[in-house]
Amino acid sequence: MRAEDVRRHYATPIGAPAYPPMLPKYIDREYLNIFYRTDPDAVRAVTPEPLEIEDPIVRFEVMKMNEVTGYGPYTEAGQAISVSYQGEPGEYLRAMYLDSFPAAAGGREVGAYPKVLGSPSLYLDNAALVGTLDYGTIRVATATMGYKHHAMDPDDARAQISIPTYMLKFAPDYDASMRACELVRTEITDIEVKQAWTAPARLQLFEHVLAPLADLPVLEIISASHIVTDLTLGPMKPVHDYLEAGVDPAAPTR
């Protein structure tokens, strides 16, 4: 294989890459969002500078991807923290768990999504919308919401899912030092809200050493939403370089 042939590829294994070379389009993406207030000290301990916490609000989400170009259907759950950056409201994505390896690999390598494999689900059970997350065989989260009790303003729904999102991008070098250590920003685009509902909700989080969602305990449920939408994920943009700022993380111990 010639050098110019190598340069035409974007991921390994060559000839059968784990993810497609595209920004995916989501059709009928279904959200269960539960916003809750948590312990201020706990949320500050896991939120990186220069992001700021004004109110310790966390969003637990379960997303059923009914149709995704390049990937096909899958389900994902995650935890996002309400933050601000240079005065602009946003969310810091702390963790995401999904049942698709291609989507997990593409999200991490192309972007900076903190994705690992898990077993989330979203379904209707006896007039309640239920979202669950298992890590291996262990239950990590159970969310329940009344099914379509009250219509939600589509503009409010759009605002919930289009808020700027921040993530950490790590790229280790071959000697285990950091080649890149950045805070990146992205936004969802091309949003078409098809349904939007709100209702009472509950959320239980269970402790797990490899899925520590319960480190941000549920102190008060603020609101919940059930949204169906089409959308496109936007590209990443670095907004803060920790290495240039002199915060070069030490190489991990092996």
Catalytic residue IDs: 115
Task: At 30, give phi and psi (nearest 5°).
Answer: -110, 125
Q: Decide: helix, strand or coil at residue 45.
A: helix
- Asked if 244 and 180 count as a contact pair (C-beta separation under 8 A), the reply is no
Helix/strand/coil percent split, the chain, to 5: 15, 50, 35
Q: Decide: helix, strand or coil at residue 213.
A: helix
Task: At 119, give phi and psi (nearest 5°).
Answer: -130, 80
Q: What is the DSSP string of 13-30?
A: STTS-SS-SS--EEEEEE
